[in-house]
Amino acid sequence: MIGKRLGGRYEVEQRIGGGGMAVVYKAHDNLLNRTVALKILRSQFGHDDDFIGRFRREAQAAASLSHPNVVNVYDVGEEDDIQYIVMEYVEGLTLKELITQQGKLQLDEAIHIAIQICDALEHAHHNHIIHRDIKPHNILIGPRRRVKVTDFGIARAVTSATITHTGSVIGSVHYFSPEQARGGISGEKSDIYSLGVVIYEMVTGQVPFSGDSPISVALKHLQENIVPPRELNPELPQSVENVILRALVKDPLHRYQSARDMQMDLKTCLDPNRLNEPPFVVEHDDEEATRIIPAITPEMMKQMEGRQIEDEDDDDGRPRRDAVTEAKPRKWIKSLAWISFLSAFFVIALYGFNYLIGIFYVPEVVTPRVERMYLEEAIKVLNEKDLNYVIQERFNDEVPKDMVIRQTPPPSMRVKQKSEITLFVSKGQQEIAMPDLVGLPERHIELQVEKFANVKIERKPSNDYASGIVMNQEPSAGEMVIPSQTNVLIQISTGKQTVLVPDLQGLTVDQAEAALARAGLKKGRVKLEASYLKEGTIFRQYPFQAGSQASPGAEIELGVSSGFPPDAKVVSEPVLVLLGDQPSADIMIQVSDARGKEIELVRKTIRQSDTFDVEVVLSPSQDATITIYKDGSLLEKRNIQYVDVP
């Protein structure tokens, strides 16, 4: 994907992140000349209508938001089955990375971040959009601590105040609200709960609930109370703990009514008059508590029947003796008959029920843990429990071949004997064909080798490949390899090999030939020409000048002086240097003439006044200058002109 251009304008530069559904790249918008973030749906979902629909809904939902604390969405498109969204690029790090670096954050910084998240949520909720995946990973911290909420990948525009997703629970389990964990209705207050978890993590350095599996963490959100933040961070004011406790109430009715309410509470929670306020406690309505209704017993039935008989009075208010006398025998016989019938019925039913249970009852067993056992051992354990099994093989980079990766149903569940246990067994690490990298530009090989654990890059010169092009690889293309166990060597061309051409001027031919040999070059044609340099001295080199680059073995043509030209004049000029009262002095004499500039002819320490004969070479176009230095200071500068004598 690196180097690919989407939509004719977005040049993909590098991968900067990714989740379960999409990969995020840094890209350059060539049309508007700006850096953007490019979210691309993973290839395995490219033909899944459900995922594509959810991916497009993300763009539609996020594009409807315009807020300084929400990542802007610029564009959405599709090209060659690649679904992508173009978003604002935020230079910085995620809140999760910040917490990982610092542990718990400074209190005022955590409150400042939380207030900005509330502002973003209030804007989204006002537009009927529920985020449903608020977590530190989706909160970007840009320059000057500007907070940007991103990844509305699970959000949905709705026409009411709630949002559901049938058949699945979406979100990150450590930041779930209880209603999300049970797969129920999730609305604005679900985002408030998740934000409460984020604040909890910012001020304590850890999440409220953790466990060995996502299911165990979700159950804790439903059933367990959080450890009060002040127990983990005693420096936390009671007012800040109250904000967190109110946001994390399991019953949505008792949470903040809106993100705006929570934001207003956060803005004042560090006021001095609130720091030691009373702890937050959820009030329960006792009238709605569950009432226990007693069962009706046979004794209560008899009392009720007796009262009915006593209520049959004469007109004068006294009991009717004939009714009582006649009713008692009839009632006793009738009751005895019913009791006998019911007793016989229950005895027969009991024996019949036990008989049927004996026929159809299958004993239950507890599923043993066979995960991380080799298949042969796992089958033996299941046979001992009288359980059947089905094997499904999977490639796995971490679990050795023939070892059980996981089982369904999981361990410690009660099932009937002869039940079928599905064993997912490792086929070991999957071999793949080594990709063909030779001839590719270096910037295009990143995705090709991202699965390999050990990749080494060497850079070497080449006359066959341009600079930055892969010219060799090990293993070779098409070879079957296991990425995690394979060492990959990639050789990248630095272009044609060159050597540095030495400066040959002023050398003799023999000296020049030795210098060229040391540099990996050869002596070319030697051409004698008159020059103002001493006879036998090189005054020109061709075609490569000193300091340039040449291919190894290249020939350098040498121009060698055959002596001075006829119009040259050699003049000897006496130079007197007086010491005066000085015991000694360091003398240096330089000459600039037809031979060149600042040629050093004398460097000497004298202990008495002395005279030096300085030889200069003049040409019709070049006079001479003699410069004398005494103890590093300019003593005299003398010009000698060319005089044409007829």
Is 133 annotated in the active site?
yes
- Confidence at 531, pLDDT banded by 50, 70, 90: confident
**Quick check: 94 pLDDT over 70?**
yes
Contact 240, 107 (CB under 8 A): yes
Q: Would you give the distance in Å from CA 112 to the centre of its chain?
A: 24
pLDDT in the model for residue 360: 54
Active-site position among 119, 133, 191, 265:
133
The encoded tokens of residue 351 equal 């024996």
Q: Map tokens 């993973």 to a residue.
A: 42
pLDDT band at 164 (very low <50, low <70, confident <90, very high): very low
Task: Flag the least confident range among 334-348, 477-491, 626-640.
Answer: 334-348
Contact assessment for residue 529 and residue 542, using Cβ atoms and an 8 Å cutoff = no
Least-confidence region, from 141-155, 407-421, 507-521 = 141-155
CA distance 593 to 619: 8
How far apart are the C-alpha atoms of 136 and 146, rounded to whole Å? 14
- For residue 599 the two structure tokens come to 């040629």
pLDDT at 318 over 60: no
pLDDT band at 134 (very low <50, low <70, confident <90, very high): very high
Give CA–CA dist 198/243, Å, rounded.
Answer: 12
Does residue 118 carry a pLDDT above 90?
yes
Q: DSSP letter for 403, please.
A: B
Let me know if 205 is exposed, middle or buried by CB neighbors in 10 A (0-12, 13-18, 19+): middle
Mean pLDDT lowest for which of 278-287, 423-432, 499-508? Answer: 278-287
Return the minimum-mean-pLDDT range out of 103-112, 152-161, 415-424: 152-161
